[in-house]
Amino acid sequence: MDAIDRTLLALLQEDATQAYSALGKAVGLSAGAAHERVRKLRDAGVIRRTTIDVDPAAVGGGVLGFVMVESSAWMGESGGRFAAIPEIQEAHVIAGSASVLVKVRTATTEQLQDVLRRLYEIEGVSGTQATVALETFFERPVAVNRVNTSAT
Amino acid sequence: MDAIDRTLLALLQEDATQAYSALGKAVGLSAGAAHERVRKLRDAGVIRRTTIDVDPAAVGGGVLGFVMVESSAWMGESGGRFAAIPEIQEAHVIAGSASVLVKVRTATTEQLQDVLRRLYEIEGVSGTQATVALETFFERPVAVNRVNTSAT
DNA sequence: TTTGAAATTACAACTGT
DNA sequence: ACAGTTGTAATTTCAAA
């Protein structure tokens, strides 16, 4: 994991369709060498997968909400219950008064309310505190150009 | 945007490296037809880009925090100030008591604290309320298999 | 790093609805 | 006109020297 690897990651985050020859040129390497580096990053799990970025509004996810879920019980094993709600894009166990923070995308605020209803059906959930996003400044991939602390 | 398009989106979210022949087979179309549909989804902006999913922990982003940023002024034009902090992965203007919700990834909690310091340097920011994620249940792409409301 | 074969993409012209 | 099929040339991938 040196500076070249991080540059490759940043370039692929921007556009994963570009050819290895272009990647190699950008970092001063041959296409084969760039290819080999990317293969190793994949094997090491640094690159989890190649995917597409879909416009949420185009697939019925124009309303973005965050919900603080309060609980009266240990929620550490409840991940599957949250994952069963497709509108939930992320779910994190958090420190603090609430127990779980979820990120929700729906087409309408009515559907967001319905997600709250389904959240209450999960055992241990004792309350929710929902916030609607009025505007998204940005959503971007993890920054890779930073002093590294862990990893190979 | 019919059912086949949504299936193609879901397949590409899972693995954007697969060949059009495989995509076509999965939806009962020829490789050329699948290619044409994906091209149109790209042109329409439904597919914003092809990218890689990088493991945050491998690039110094093992600590995940959410920060509610309170403000004493209109924050609608401050997006650039937040974007200038690379550790911030997302920033949303929200309804409610706080003004902006940001998602932050750092290597350590000390670095998270330093992000808070930099947030206070943004004009109008009057307070922050940070929460650390103890565990991430899941983070996944937007669900595409849903009744569509907008779009072509 | 370079090479070369295999696979894939991108782009035709064509067909049917 | 529109969406899909088939065929083909140009790239690209990927393993091996």
pLDDT number for residue B147: 60
Name beta bridge partners: A129: A68
Beta carbons of A10 and A36 less than 8 angstroms apart: no
A9 pLDDT band (50/70/90 cuts)? Answer: very high
Give the CA-to-C1' distance from A60 to D1 in angstroms. Answer: 29
Print pLDDT tens along chain B (152 aa).
Answer: 999 999 999 999 999 999 999 999 999 999 999 999 999 999 999 999 999 999 999 999 999 999 999 999 999 999 999 999 999 999 999 998 779 999 999 999 999 999 999 999 999 999 999 999 999 999 999 999 876 444 44
Both tokens assigned to A123? 């055992």
Q: Within window 70-109 on B, which residues have Cβ closer than 7 Å to strand C? A: none
CB of A30 nearer than 7 A to strand D? no
| Cα–Cα–Cα angle for A2, A149, B116, rounded to 5 degrees | 120
- Residue B150, SS3 per DSSP: coil
B86: chain A residues, CB-CB within 8 Å: 143, 145-146
User: Which of B51, B97, B131 is the best residue to mutate to test the A interface, defined by the most A CB atoms within 10 Å of its own CB?
Assistant: B51
A3: chain B residues, CB-CB within 8 Å: none
Residue nearest to nucleotide C7 (CA to C1'): B19
Q: Determine, for residues B47 and A54 on separate chains, whether the beta-carbon distance falls below 8 Å.
A: yes
- Residue B108, SS3 per DSSP: coil
Beta carbons of B128 and B82 less than 8 angstroms apart: no
pLDDT number for residue A147: 61
- Tens digit of each residue's pLDDT (9 = 90 or more) over A38-56: 999 999 999 999 999 999 9
Q: Given CB atoms, is A22 within the 8 Å cutoff of chain B? A: no
pLDDT number for residue A96: 79
| Calpha distance B108→A114 (Å, rounded) | 37
Q: Given CB atoms, is B29 within the 8 Å cutoff of chain A? A: no
Domains of chain A with CATH codes: 3-43 (1.10.10.10), 56-133 (3.30.70.920)
Q: How far does B27 lie from chain A, in Å, by closest CA?
A: 18
What is the average per-residue pLDDT within A125-143? 97
Both tokens assigned to B87? 């550790």
- Residue B38, SS3 per DSSP: helix
Q: Determine, for residues A87 and B151 on separate chains, whether the beta-carbon distance falls below 8 Å.
A: no
pLDDT number for residue B149: 46
* A64 has a pLDDT exceeding 70: yes
